[in-house]
Homo-oligomer: A and B are copies of this chain.
Amino acid sequence: MLRGPFLDRSWMAQNPSYDSADIIMLGLPFDGTVSYRSGSRFAPEQIRLASWGLEEYSPVFDKELADVNFHDAGDLEFPLGNTYKTIEQIRLNVEDIYKDGKKVFGIGGEHLVTLPEIQAVSRYVDNLAIVHFDAHTDLREEYLGEEMSHSAVIRHCSKIVGAENIKQIGIRSGMKEEWEFMKKHNTLCHKFSDLDCLKCKNIFVTVDLDCLDTSIMPGTGTPEAGGMTFKELNDWFYYLKDFNIVGADVVELAPDYDSSGASTAVATKVIRELLMAM
């Protein structure tokens, strides 16, 4: 036997037991439908490595990661090039989590992974609403003839939870039609209180990291100028701590596009802070 000590290779401060954990972190390394640059398939593992550069303690929430009680389940393995089978596989695993009375915390991969998560959660959780952080509306009906696209994921989700139960934050890009959809359904939030109507809902928080400014998050598929600062995003998380969050994901880090590693470091802290809010 080796005396070690050895470096831990799971997410910092996770609960090694699935059974006793409340939140299940699930890596979803899929990037098959992205419209511009792919590479988010490498995010879950690089984020896991980078988590060891963080502290366990969050001064904003005055809490330690160990208080959150989450388990890092590892990364699903997908059939490359087959979007439909991948979606099905995510849906089934997320259903397993909710059957077991736990909550999912997905680590993308691309944004399409949110669709099977919502499909699964909606079967086990009533009164579901979605808080959506993103640069892009993701409200297309299809993209270049394909329904299953990361550009259409929130539109598809809106058919499950109802457009009135979608709130969007950070949006700054979309087609005119998408913008009209947002206006019609009043989905875009400008201030914290715009979220208050969701206070008695069960909320799934989905964070496309390109909601952050391109300067903070160059390592993403479709960088879009004019985004949020990290502090602004964290303030929204802090406000959400009084809501009933039943699941979450953080998607669209493409680590190879930022050779400085800063994008990965930021993504990792976004995850820590969102875990704190749950």
**Binary CB contact string for chain A from 176 to 215 against chain B (1 if under 8 A, 0 otherwise):** 1001000000000000000000000000000000000111
- Does A100 sit at the interface, judged by CB under 8 A? yes
User: Interface size bucket, A side?
Assistant: 35 or more
Determine if A143 and B6 form an interchain contact, defined as CB atoms under 8 angstroms apart.
no
Determine if A37 and B256 form an interchain contact, defined as CB atoms under 8 angstroms apart.
yes
Q: A100-B1, A143-B80, A213-B230 are in contact. Are A29 and B56 (CB under 8 A)?
A: no
- Does A234 sit at the interface, judged by CB under 8 A? yes
Stretch from A122-130, A244-252, A259-267 that touches the partner: A259-267
Determine if A18 and B1 form an interchain contact, defined as CB atoms under 8 angstroms apart.
yes
CB distance from A146 to the nearest CB of B (A): 5
Q: A18-B1, A35-B80 are in contact. Are A269 and B225 (CB under 8 A)?
A: yes
Determine if B218 and A226 form an interchain contact, defined as CB atoms under 8 angstroms apart.
no
CB contacts (< 8 Å) of A164 on chain B: these are none
CB contacts (< 8 Å) of A3 on chain B: these are 92-93, 96
Determine if B79 and A146 form an interchain contact, defined as CB atoms under 8 angstroms apart.
yes
Residue ID in chain B nearest A52 by CB atoms? B36
Residue ID in chain B nearest A182 by CB atoms? B59
Determine if B175 and A55 form an interchain contact, defined as CB atoms under 8 angstroms apart.
yes
Determine if B224 and A269 form an interchain contact, defined as CB atoms under 8 angstroms apart.
yes
- Does A236 sit at the interface, judged by CB under 8 A? no
Q: A1-B100, A174-B55 are in contact. Are A270 and B81 (CB under 8 A)?
A: no
Which A residues from 41 to 74 make CB contacts under 8 A with B? Answer: 42, 45, 49, 53-57, 59, 64, 73-74
Determine if A262 and B214 form an interchain contact, defined as CB atoms under 8 angstroms apart.
yes
Determine if B144 and A80 form an interchain contact, defined as CB atoms under 8 angstroms apart.
yes
CB contacts (< 8 Å) of A234 on chain B: these are 226
Complex CA distance for A258 and B261, rounded to whole angstroms:
9
Q: A1-B18, A225-B269 are in contact. Are A146 and B213 (CB under 8 A)?
A: no
**Binary CB contact string for chain A from 1 to 20 against chain B (1 if under 8 A, 0 otherwise):** 11111110100000000100
Residue ID in chain B nearest A176 by CB atoms? B57
Q: A80-B35, A144-B78, A262-B214 are in contact. Are A2 and B96 (CB under 8 A)?
A: yes
Chain A interface residues toward B at CB < 8 A: 1-7, 9, 18, 24, 26-27, 29, 31-39, 42, 45, 49, 53-57, 59, 64, 73-83, 85, 92-93, 96-97, 100, 143-146, 148-149, 172-176, 179, 213-216, 218-219, 222-226, 229-231, 234, 256-263, 265-266, 269-270
